Amino acid sequence: MSVINRKAFVKKAAFAAAGAATLLNSCGQEKKTNGSPAVISRKTFEWRMVTTWMPHFPVLGEGADKIAKDIEAMSGGRIKIHVFGGGELVPALETFEAVSQGVAQMGHSASYYWAGKAPASQLFTSVPFGMNTQQTYAWLYQGGGLELWRELYSSFNMIPFPAGNTGGQMGGWFNKQINSIADLKGLKIRIPGIGAKIITKAGGSAVLSPGGEIYTNLERGVIDATDWIGPYHDWLMGFHKIAKYYYYPSFAEPSGVVELIVNKNAFEELPADLQEIIKYVATSANVSMLAEMEAKNSEYLLKIKNESKVQITRFPDDVMSAFKKYGNEALNELTSEDSFSKKVLDSYNQFHKRIKDWTDLSDKYFI
């Protein structure tokens, strides 16, 4: 760096520090008007949060509970949020409509459940054979992804916030070995989003059901297989007790973004400082859930290996190649039928292409 550029950099940093100090001094205060003292509104709000998870569902439902508690604590009790598991206030898969229509002010879910209402929504949870979690975060926060997500949801009177992530996932639990793509023919597999399209193209039958119904459906043979998350949560769900084969990697979810959705009208009625608290808590939840999943997955992978009879098996290369082919077909169909999906996927792919070079240099060697 030249002397001139270094001086300019230092000068710019000094101005930034001064600005940050000013911001900290004014944090939590509303602007003064006509010389009147700055005050914080003491108005209180009672909100409802609906979720697609069972009440207090490990990690995911608990994540919703924690968001509610953190918002209440940081707001000094000015927002109290009552959390309802799937089916307690509305059915699990009606979370989207409930928040959109104002039945609840908040929802906690994954956006790919809403493919039938907003086709592009599924691209914000994950894209088959797409970016990993770190790359996805970069796209959402710095690559325009979150702006597109909010543009999409604005027509439904909602604001989305990334509020958790499962990290890279496993390929699913099966009671039949998958030696070739032909082995998927006729299988009933619980899987949402674009992954469902891939399974259908492979000759299987994709089933959409909330997490709370999966164990019973798999145990009773209503479904033959299921995708879910990873070793930690899958162990808590008990799938190792009723399935023989645990396949990897996930062809559908190299990352798994969890969403907090907020009714736009309700959000805009809040004072500015409470709006900022919601933003902060969502981001905090995004970090803490991913950390928990990454730490616990390694621990519970060993439990599955050592304390069960499950066979942990890699999908054959030709099966993965077929999945990728069908995934590309599904994405092409989606973008040809829905212009906003094309807009989102173009942004996603351009960012993926650009960041891949950096990932190859910075991370791939160590992995």
140: domain CATH number is: 3.40.190.170
Residue 156 lies in a domain: yes
* 18: in domain: no
On the 0-12 / 13-18 / 19+ scale of CB atoms within 10 A, 84 is buried
In angstroms and rounded to an integer, the radius of gyration of the C-alpha atoms of the chain is 22
Q: Are 221 and 312 in the same domain?
A: yes
Q: Which of 258, 210, 255, 256 is nearest to 237 (CA)?
A: 210
Is 39 inside any structural domain? no
For residues 93 and 109, give the distance between their C-alpha atoms in angstroms, rounded to a whole number: 9
Q: What are phi and psi of 247, to 5 degrees?
A: -95, 150
Say what the pLDDT of residue 38 is.
Answer: 43
Q: What does the alpha-carbon distance between residue 168 and residue 257 come to, in Å, rounded to a whole number?
A: 10
Same domain, 345 and 234: yes
Q: What is the pLDDT of residue 9?
A: 33
Q: Which H or E element spans position 17?
A: helix 3-26
Residue 316, in any domain of the structure: yes
Among 267, 293, 319, give the residue marking a domain's end: 293
153 and 212 together in one domain: no
Q: Does residue 22 lie in a domain region?
A: no
210, 335: one domain: yes
Write out the two tokens for 97: 């409509």
Backbone angles phi, psi at 258, to 5 degrees: -100, 140
Q: Which residue has the tokens 């995004």?
A: 286
Is residue 202 in a domain? yes
Nearest by Cα to 312 from 321, 320, 303 = 303
Say whether both 322 and 343 belong to one domain.
yes
pLDDT the model gives residue 281: 98
Show the domain range for 83.
45-165+255-293
Please tell me whether residues 264 and 309 are part of one structural domain. Answer: no
**Is the domain of 101 the same as that of 140?**
yes
Distance set, CA 3 to CA 6, 15, 17 (Å): 5, 19, 21
Contacts of 314 (CB under 8 A, 6+ apart): 247, 248, 249
What distance in Å separates the CA atoms of residue 339 and residue 120, rounded to the nearest whole number? 9
Residue 320 lies in a domain: yes
Question: Are 190 and 114 in the same domain?
Answer: no
Say whether both 179 and 305 belong to one domain.
Answer: yes
- Of the residues 293, 322, 342, the one at which a domain ends: 293
Same domain, 207 and 239: yes
Q: Write the CB contacts of 355 (distance below 8 Å, at least 6 apart in sequence).
A: 131, 135, 138, 139, 143
Centre a 10 Å sphere on the Cβ of residue 315 and count the other Cβ atoms it contains: 20
Residue 166 one-letter amino acid: T
pLDDT of residue 12: 43
Domain end: 293, 315, 341, which one? Answer: 293
Work out how many domains the chain is built from and give that number: 2
In angstroms, the Cα distances linking 190 to 24, 145, 362 are 48, 27, 36
φ/ψ of residue 173, rounded to 5: -105, 130
Main-chain dihedrals φ then ψ at residue 261, nearest 5 degrees: -110, 140
Q: What is the pLDDT of residue 40?
A: 62
Helix (H), strand (E) at residue 165: strand 158-165
Angle at 184 between CA 183 and CA 187, to 5 degrees: 120
Query: How many C-alpha atoms does 348 have within 13 Å on its Cβ side?
Result: 26
CA 307 – CA 290 distance, rounded (Å):
25
- 191 and 153 assigned to the same domain: no
| CATH number of the domain residue 307 falls in | 3.40.190.10
Residues of the chain with pLDDT under 70: 1-41
Residue 124 forms part of a structural domain? yes
Helix (H) or strand (E) holding 279: helix 272-307
pTM of structure: 0.86
Q: Residue 17 has what pLDDT?
A: 38
Q: Is the same domain home to 96 and 180?
A: no
